[in-house]
Amino acid sequence: MFQKFVFALSLLLLISFPTFAQKKAQTNPAAAIFQKGMVLAKKNDFAGAIAEFEKATKANPKYYEAFIALGMAQQQIQSYSSAVDSFRQAIVLRPKSAEPRMMLGSLYQQINDADSALNEYNEALKLEPGNAEVRMAIGFLLAVKNQLPEAISQLETAITLKPTLAQAHYYLGTAKYFLMTQWAQ
C-alpha cells in the first residue's frame, strides 16, 4: 500500500505542473515525448508509458523526471530490475536529491528486500533529515525487522515532523503494542 501511495503521490507531482510541462514540451522534443508517456501512465497504460519514457530518455539522457517516471512505470508492471536501473540513473543525475532514493527504497520494499530498502531510505534521510515520509518508511521497516525501539523512535520523529501523517500514527501504535507484548512475555 505504501508503494502505491508513493507512486500515486509521485505521479500527481509529475502531472501537477501541466502548463510548465506544456511550455517545456514546445521547446524540448524529449519533454513532448515525456508528456505522451504521462498521459498513458495516467490511463494505466504502463507498457505504452514505458515506451514513451524510454524514447524521452534517449532523446535527452539527462532527463531526470523521465527516468523517475520510467522507473515508476516499470515498477507497476513488475519489471523490477529495469526499474532499479532507471532509479539508479536518476540518482546519478541528481545525487543530492532524496526522491530517487525514496523511490528505489519503495521498490526494494515492494520486493521484500528490507535491507536494501533501509539502505536507500537511510541515504534519502541523509539528504533530507526532516522528511517525515522517509522516517515513517524507515520506522515501518525497522518494526518489520523487530527492531521495535528504533522503529518507535523513527515513527515518533515522523509524527513530530508531520503530525497529520496518519499512517505513521498507525505504525507507531502497532510497534508499541508489539513491544509491550514482548515485554509481557
Block means of pLDDT (10 residues each) for the chain, length 185 residues?
47 44 61 96 97 97 97 98 98 97 97 96 97 97 95 97 97 91 74
SS3 content of the chain, % helix, strand, coil (to 5): 80, 0, 20
Per-residue b/e over 127-157, b at no fewer than 16 CB within 10 Å?
Answer: bbeebbbbbbbbbbbbbbeebbeebbbbbbb
pLDDT at residue 124, as a whole number = 98
pLDDT at residue 13, as a whole number = 43
**124, three cell numbers:** 534519502
Q: Which residue has the cell 510541462?
A: 21
pLDDT at residue 10, as a whole number = 53
CB neighbour class for 107 (10 Å; exposed up to 12, middle 13-18, buried from 19): buried
pLDDT at residue 166, as a whole number = 96
Helical packing angle, 114-127 and 99-110, nearest 10°: 170
pLDDT at residue 179, as a whole number = 86
pLDDT at residue 15, as a whole number = 45
Interacting residues of 184 by C-beta distance below 8 A, sequence separation 6+: none
Q: For residues 54 and 58, what is the distance between their CA atoms, to the nearest angstrom?
A: 6
pLDDT at residue 6, as a whole number = 45
CA dihedral 137, 138, 143, 148 (to 10 degrees): -140
Q: CA end-to-end span of the chain, whole Å?
A: 31
pLDDT at residue 27, as a whole number = 62
pLDDT at residue 184, as a whole number = 67
| pTM of this structure | 0.80
Largest CA distance in the chain: 66
**128, three cell numbers:** 533530507
